Amino acid sequence: MDLVTVALVAYLIGSISFAVLVSRAFGLPDPRSYGSGNPGATNVLRTGRKCAAALTLLGDALKGWFAVAVVQQHVIADPLAVGVAAVAVTVGHMWPVFFRFQGGKGVSTALGVLAALDGWLAAGAVVTWIIVAFFFRISSLAALVASAFAPFFSFFLYGMGRFALEPAVGVAVMSALLVWRHRANIRNLIAGTEGRLGGGSR
Protein backbone atom coordinates (compact mmCIF):
# COMPACT_ATOMS: atom_id res chain seq x y z
CA MET A 1 0.00 0.00 0.00
CA ASP A 2 1.57 3.31 -1.08
CA LEU A 3 1.46 6.61 0.79
CA VAL A 4 -1.37 8.03 -1.34
CA THR A 5 -3.56 5.05 -0.50
CA VAL A 6 -2.65 5.30 3.19
CA ALA A 7 -3.57 8.99 3.19
CA LEU A 8 -6.87 8.40 1.38
CA VAL A 9 -8.00 5.52 3.60
CA ALA A 10 -7.03 7.37 6.78
CA TYR A 11 -8.83 10.49 5.55
CA LEU A 12 -12.01 8.51 4.86
CA ILE A 13 -11.85 6.94 8.33
CA GLY A 14 -11.46 10.39 9.82
CA SER A 15 -14.43 11.64 7.81
CA ILE A 16 -16.80 9.47 9.88
CA SER A 17 -18.40 12.08 12.17
CA PHE A 18 -19.48 10.31 15.33
CA ALA A 19 -21.01 13.51 16.72
CA VAL A 20 -23.51 13.55 13.86
CA LEU A 21 -24.09 9.78 13.79
CA VAL A 22 -24.52 9.44 17.56
CA SER A 23 -26.84 12.45 17.63
CA ARG A 24 -29.00 10.87 14.95
CA ALA A 25 -29.08 7.59 16.86
CA PHE A 26 -30.19 9.39 20.04
CA GLY A 27 -32.73 11.55 18.23
CA LEU A 28 -30.77 14.72 19.03
CA PRO A 29 -30.36 17.82 16.84
CA ASP A 30 -27.46 17.97 14.42
CA PRO A 31 -24.53 19.27 16.50
CA ARG A 32 -23.62 21.61 13.65
CA SER A 33 -26.91 23.47 14.19
CA TYR A 34 -26.54 24.68 17.80
CA GLY A 35 -24.05 25.86 20.39
CA SER A 36 -20.60 26.33 18.89
CA GLY A 37 -21.66 24.49 15.72
CA ASN A 38 -18.73 22.15 16.29
CA PRO A 39 -19.55 18.45 15.73
CA GLY A 40 -17.66 17.16 18.73
CA ALA A 41 -18.24 15.72 22.18
CA THR A 42 -18.23 19.11 23.93
CA ASN A 43 -21.06 20.42 21.79
CA VAL A 44 -23.07 17.19 22.02
CA LEU A 45 -22.79 17.48 25.81
CA ARG A 46 -24.81 20.71 25.59
CA THR A 47 -27.89 18.58 24.93
CA GLY A 48 -27.54 17.16 28.44
CA ARG A 49 -27.06 13.64 27.10
CA LYS A 50 -23.80 12.61 28.75
CA CYS A 51 -23.94 9.13 27.23
CA ALA A 52 -24.16 10.59 23.71
CA ALA A 53 -21.23 12.91 24.41
CA ALA A 54 -19.17 10.04 25.83
CA LEU A 55 -19.89 7.85 22.80
CA THR A 56 -18.92 10.72 20.51
CA LEU A 57 -15.62 11.19 22.30
CA LEU A 58 -14.94 7.45 22.27
CA GLY A 59 -15.82 7.06 18.59
CA ASP A 60 -13.70 10.00 17.48
CA ALA A 61 -10.76 8.78 19.55
CA LEU A 62 -11.09 5.21 18.30
CA LYS A 63 -11.05 6.24 14.63
CA GLY A 64 -7.80 8.13 15.23
CA TRP A 65 -6.33 5.13 16.99
CA PHE A 66 -7.58 2.67 14.36
CA ALA A 67 -6.24 4.57 11.34
CA VAL A 68 -2.75 4.70 12.80
CA ALA A 69 -2.72 1.26 14.44
CA VAL A 70 -3.70 -0.50 11.21
CA VAL A 71 -0.80 1.13 9.38
CA GLN A 72 1.58 0.32 12.21
CA GLN A 73 0.65 -3.32 12.63
CA HIS A 74 -0.97 -4.65 9.49
CA VAL A 75 -0.29 -2.52 6.43
CA ILE A 76 3.22 -1.14 6.07
CA ALA A 77 6.14 -0.89 8.46
CA ASP A 78 7.10 2.58 7.31
CA PRO A 79 7.37 5.44 9.84
CA LEU A 80 6.52 7.95 7.09
CA ALA A 81 3.26 6.10 6.37
CA VAL A 82 2.41 6.24 10.08
CA GLY A 83 2.99 9.99 10.12
CA VAL A 84 0.88 10.42 6.97
CA ALA A 85 -1.96 8.39 8.50
CA ALA A 86 -1.83 10.50 11.68
CA VAL A 87 -2.24 13.72 9.74
CA ALA A 88 -4.76 12.37 7.22
CA VAL A 89 -7.20 10.97 9.79
CA THR A 90 -7.09 14.31 11.62
CA VAL A 91 -7.75 16.21 8.40
CA GLY A 92 -10.65 13.86 7.70
CA HIS A 93 -12.19 14.65 11.06
CA MET A 94 -11.81 18.39 10.54
CA TRP A 95 -13.03 18.44 6.92
CA PRO A 96 -15.11 15.25 6.44
CA VAL A 97 -16.10 14.47 2.88
CA PHE A 98 -19.22 12.62 4.11
CA PHE A 99 -20.59 15.65 5.97
CA ARG A 100 -20.06 18.59 3.61
CA PHE A 101 -16.57 19.19 5.03
CA GLN A 102 -18.10 20.50 8.26
CA GLY A 103 -16.01 18.75 10.89
CA GLY A 104 -14.80 19.13 14.43
CA LYS A 105 -11.68 20.57 15.97
CA GLY A 106 -9.89 17.24 16.23
CA VAL A 107 -9.05 16.97 19.93
CA SER A 108 -10.54 13.50 20.51
CA THR A 109 -9.23 12.14 17.21
CA ALA A 110 -5.77 13.50 17.98
CA LEU A 111 -5.87 11.77 21.36
CA GLY A 112 -6.60 8.47 19.62
CA VAL A 113 -3.70 9.06 17.24
CA LEU A 114 -1.34 9.73 20.16
CA ALA A 115 -2.55 6.59 21.95
CA ALA A 116 -1.75 4.50 18.87
CA LEU A 117 1.70 6.05 18.53
CA ASP A 118 2.70 5.69 22.17
CA GLY A 119 0.71 5.31 25.38
CA TRP A 120 3.08 7.61 27.27
CA LEU A 121 2.63 10.28 24.63
CA ALA A 122 -1.15 10.15 25.01
CA ALA A 123 -0.85 10.13 28.81
CA GLY A 124 1.36 13.23 28.71
CA ALA A 125 -1.20 15.09 26.60
CA VAL A 126 -4.08 14.03 28.85
CA VAL A 127 -2.26 15.04 32.03
CA THR A 128 -1.40 18.40 30.47
CA TRP A 129 -5.06 18.93 29.54
CA ILE A 130 -6.24 18.00 33.04
CA ILE A 131 -3.76 20.32 34.78
CA VAL A 132 -4.67 23.32 32.63
CA ALA A 133 -8.39 22.60 32.82
CA PHE A 134 -8.22 22.21 36.62
CA PHE A 135 -6.53 25.55 37.19
CA PHE A 136 -8.20 27.66 34.47
CA ARG A 137 -11.52 25.83 33.90
CA ILE A 138 -11.32 26.51 30.15
CA SER A 139 -11.55 23.45 27.90
CA SER A 140 -10.24 25.17 24.77
CA LEU A 141 -7.20 26.55 26.58
CA ALA A 142 -6.43 23.09 27.94
CA ALA A 143 -6.71 21.65 24.43
CA LEU A 144 -4.44 24.33 23.00
CA VAL A 145 -1.75 23.84 25.65
CA ALA A 146 -1.90 20.05 25.31
CA SER A 147 -1.63 20.41 21.52
CA ALA A 148 1.38 22.69 21.89
CA PHE A 149 3.15 20.27 24.23
CA ALA A 150 2.41 17.11 22.22
CA PRO A 151 5.21 17.71 19.64
CA PHE A 152 7.71 18.29 22.44
CA PHE A 153 6.64 15.06 24.11
CA SER A 154 6.94 13.18 20.80
CA PHE A 155 10.39 14.54 19.97
CA PHE A 156 11.49 13.70 23.51
CA LEU A 157 10.41 10.10 22.93
CA TYR A 158 12.21 10.14 19.59
CA GLY A 159 15.36 11.32 21.34
CA MET A 160 14.99 8.47 23.80
CA GLY A 161 14.99 6.04 20.87
CA ARG A 162 11.36 4.95 21.25
CA PHE A 163 9.78 7.02 18.51
CA ALA A 164 10.48 7.46 14.82
CA LEU A 165 11.11 10.97 13.51
CA GLU A 166 8.41 10.85 10.81
CA PRO A 167 5.50 10.19 13.23
CA ALA A 168 6.91 12.91 15.49
CA VAL A 169 6.74 15.35 12.57
CA GLY A 170 3.20 14.10 11.93
CA VAL A 171 2.28 14.96 15.50
CA ALA A 172 3.70 18.46 15.01
CA VAL A 173 1.59 18.97 11.87
CA MET A 174 -1.47 17.56 13.62
CA SER A 175 -0.94 19.93 16.56
CA ALA A 176 -0.62 22.90 14.21
CA LEU A 177 -3.95 21.95 12.61
CA LEU A 178 -5.59 21.75 16.03
CA VAL A 179 -4.35 25.22 16.91
CA TRP A 180 -5.64 26.51 13.57
CA ARG A 181 -9.08 25.01 14.19
CA HIS A 182 -9.18 26.72 17.58
CA ARG A 183 -8.47 30.19 16.17
CA ALA A 184 -11.93 31.47 17.15
CA ASN A 185 -11.32 30.21 20.69
CA ILE A 186 -7.94 31.96 20.68
CA ARG A 187 -9.66 35.23 19.78
CA ASN A 188 -12.14 34.70 22.61
CA LEU A 189 -9.33 33.90 25.04
CA ILE A 190 -7.54 37.12 24.13
CA ALA A 191 -10.80 39.06 24.53
CA GLY A 192 -11.59 37.32 27.83
CA THR A 193 -14.92 36.01 26.54
CA GLU A 194 -14.13 32.30 26.25
CA GLY A 195 -16.59 30.11 28.12
CA ARG A 196 -15.48 28.11 31.13
CA LEU A 197 -16.16 24.50 32.01
CA GLY A 198 -19.55 24.22 33.65
CA GLY A 199 -20.88 27.41 32.18
CA GLY A 200 -20.83 29.57 29.07
CA SER A 201 -20.33 28.54 25.50
CA ARG A 202 -17.27 27.26 23.84
Tell me, yes or no, whether 174 lies in a domain.
yes
The total of structural domains in the chain comes to 1
First to last CA, the chain: 40
What pLDDT, in 10s, does the model give residues 7-40?
A: 999 999 999 999 999 999 999 999 999 988 999 9
Q: Within a domain: residue 196?
A: no
- Note whether residue 15 is domain-resident: yes
201 located within any domain: no
The whole domain housing 157 covers: 3-191
DSSP H or E run through 11 = helix 3-14
Classify residue 99: in a domain, yes or no.
Answer: yes
Residue 178's alpha-carbon distances to 23, 72, 78, 201, in angstroms, are 23, 23, 25, 19
Q: What is the pLDDT of residues 118-171, one digit of tens each?
A: 999 999 999 999 999 999 999 999 999 999 999 999 888 776 665 678 888 999
Q: pTM score, two decimals? A: 0.92
Q: Which residue type does 107 have?
A: V
Residue 142: name the closest of 90, 189, 89 by CA: 189
Determine, yes or no, domain membership for 40.
yes
